[in-house]
Amino acid sequence: MSANGPVVVATDLHRRFGEGDTAVDALDGVTTAFERDRFTAIMGPSGSGKSTLMHILAGLDKPTSGVVELDGVDITKLDDGELTQLRRDKLGFVFQFFNLLPVLTAEENLVLPLSIAGRKPDEAWVDQLIATVGLEDRRTHRPAELSGGQQQRVAVARALVSKPAVVFADEPTGNLDSKASADVMKLLRGAVDDFDQTVVMVTHDPVAAAHADRLITLQDGKIVSDAAPGSADDVIELQKQLD
């Protein structure tokens, strides 16, 4: 796939949970693509399918039908071992609850994806990331010694350390106060602008969504809006119209 083409392409994704009368269609024919070096937010009411979509795009779940291509690879055809390797090599993740290992220092958590992959960290890049997330004086602190915002900044740096094709962020500000949320969104925005990173974020926060270049809104498993987000007030207004 060309360096200029979309990094993730989803075609006619369906995801059904359950069978018969109790079946629920979490995704109902979603087709979309995500351009490189752009920041996309995905919103929608609870049960709209936004988390299901992210899990399928990231190879954490398989669609009932449809195809996902990630960096030119049809991930829907990969077995578990191949998917694990693809996630390790191509993806970064930021979760709502940080998912740091309590026994490791901030720096050890940051380089963990490389350690698992048996790759040697690029010290200059690690130093740059630690400086970017403002944790130079916290490198040897364990998660319990860090605030929630600091833990999430470590998690963002960890997602970037392997220079992945895509960073998936699942409600990255959902567990933070407004100041820490603003810091994390500035980091994700900076990752796109300064490091040419591709970021796809699920969020319920209009302020977070306003940092993105593009806002996809889901409802009942379908895309009902796909446009630039505008301001946080614009996002709130759009969500009201769709409710």
Per-residue model confidence (pLDDT) at position 187: 85
**How much is the pLDDT for 149?**
83
Check residue 32 and give its pLDDT: 92
Mean pLDDT of the chain: 86
Q: Which domains does the chain have, with CATH numbers?
A: 35-62+77-242 (3.40.50.300)
Question: What does each C-alpha distance from 181 to 56, 172, 177, 207, 233 come to in angstroms?
Answer: 26, 8, 6, 9, 17
pLDDT tens for residues 5-36? Answer: 788 999 999 998 888 888 888 888 899 999 98
243: confidence class by pLDDT, cuts 50, 70, 90: low
Its pTM surpasses 0.85: yes
Q: What is the DSSP string of 11-57?
A: EEEEEEES-GGG-EEEEEEEEEEE-TT-EEEEE-STTSSHHHHHHHH
What does the pLDDT look like over 123-172, one tens digit per residue?
888 888 888 888 888 888 888 888 888 888 888 888 888 888 899 998 88
Closest CA to 172 of 145, 208, 133, 144: 208
Task: Tell the burial category of 17 from Cβ atoms under 10 Å away from its Cβ (0-12, 13-18, 19+).
Answer: exposed
When pLDDT is averaged across residues 235-241 and rounded to a whole number, the result is 82
pLDDT(233) > 90: no
Q: What's the confidence (pLDDT) of residue 10? A: 92
